[in-house]
Amino acid sequence: MSSDTATRSQHAQELMGKIEQRTAVVGIVGLGYVGLPLARAVMDAGYPVLGYDTDGEKIDALDQGRCYIEHLGDEFFNELRTSEAFSASSDPQSLAGADLVLLCVPTPLGSHNEPDLGYVLDSTRMVSKILRPGQLVVLESTTYPGTTRQEMMPLLLEGGLECGKDFFLAYSPEREDPGSPGRSAAVIPKLVGGVDETSGDLAFQFYSNAVASVHKVSTAEVAESAKLLENIYRAVNIALVNEMKTVLTDMDVDIWEVIDAAATKPFGFQAFYPGPGLGGHCIPIDPFYLSWKAKEIGRHTHFIELAGEINTSMPLYVIDRLAEALNTQSKPIRGSRVLVMGIAYKPNVDDARESPAAEIMDLLAERGAIIEYHDPHLPTFPRMRNYDLDMKSVRLDENTVKSTDVVLIVTDHDAVDYDLIGEHASLIVDTRNAMSRAASIRGTLVKA
């Protein structure tokens, strides 16, 4: 799968030499949940790293060794602060010295669920101003097929350099799983696809030196599509169990026990679990990137869009279940005290991006509930594009639980005393089957 070395340009050969000798300087644009773990893997592989972010607060935190991503730990941030192989800046000119520039920027949705490539295009324009012969640019952000070639490459070509000869361009999607032990960036297999064969070879060699396993595909479009398929696969299967949950609940059948039973089959089944809605930077967003692009070519992704409808309806389903539970105790939502347990999008992380907790809390507020939340990983409700809840996590103790009308479990963090909730809560609405960990439950338990 490698191009003939003799056909490579001088710039390509020189860059390949730097990559192989690990003297290439690696610029990482975006120092968040994707960029920082990648920086760790790249530094561990022996490459010097130039970090860049538009957020000056992150740069200050890095300069001070202050942790702003919990699961990476204080020690990692101290290592970055003292390392001679790492520097961070909010000055775009700092990237001029990089031989490789890796873009790890957000790809959110617009107000009508359309792809928002603003961060990708702005970053590409920034790189185009410092682009020089012998640089490789790699996009890691999740996006629709054709973004790297059709959206990024024209911007990089404006300076007169030739792609595949003077500079090089590839796509290698991030596969971060924050907070999951044993799944660091260095051990998760990577996909790589170039807009031309030489670009793909250069990217493949670099990532092969930095991570345990790399799979090179024929084009950037294949890699872009594979990333979407990975996440759409999860979204569709989560939608399936979410829909089954609503049906089986009405039949008084426990969906979690059903899934555990089905998972005893050693072939043809993979367990997915229901929840209060999708969260995170990938699963709630990526299917819409493909469905939008499909419409551009006259296709409609009915199956994918249906899954999206089911998943986005789950917060309202949770509210309905909570209302029914309160009604059994002759209480309306309005005026009831609701303690929301967990606002992160997944267990054991301090990441609330696209968390269904925000939508659920917003719906509760609209209905007049008195809301508090407890999250051991998020002491303050973070700012979000569509939600601005000025709240702080309350202490979880006997008085807090007893004074609430209903405990609503949205995220099942391990660092939560479920025995305490089971002992003192009069009503619990559990969207994650978290109370199966409690020794006993004195009040009423409703699964949602």
- Crossing angle for the helix pair 286-296 and 302-312, nearest 10 degrees? 140
Q: Which two tokens stand for residue 26?
A: 């690696």
Which residues contact residue 350 at a Cβ distance below 8 angstroms, ignoring those fewer than 6 apart? 69, 70, 71, 344, 377, 378
**Cβ partners under 8 Å of residue 195, min gap 6:** 148, 149, 153, 163, 164, 169, 170, 171, 219, 220
- Tell me if 67 sits within 8 A of 81, measured CB to CB: no
Strand residues in 172-318 grouped as ranges (E) = 190-194, 214-216
Of residues 67, 104, 163, 282, which has the active-site annotation?
Answer: 282
End-to-end distance of the chain based on CA atoms, in angstroms? 50
Tell me if 442 sits within 8 A of 423, measured CB to CB: yes
Concerning whether 67 is annotated as a catalytic residue, the answer is no
Taking the C-alpha atoms of residue 182 and residue 279, their distance in angstroms, rounded to an integer, is 22
- Supply 159's token pair: 């300076």
DSSP single-letter state for residue 195: S
Catalytic residue annotation = 282
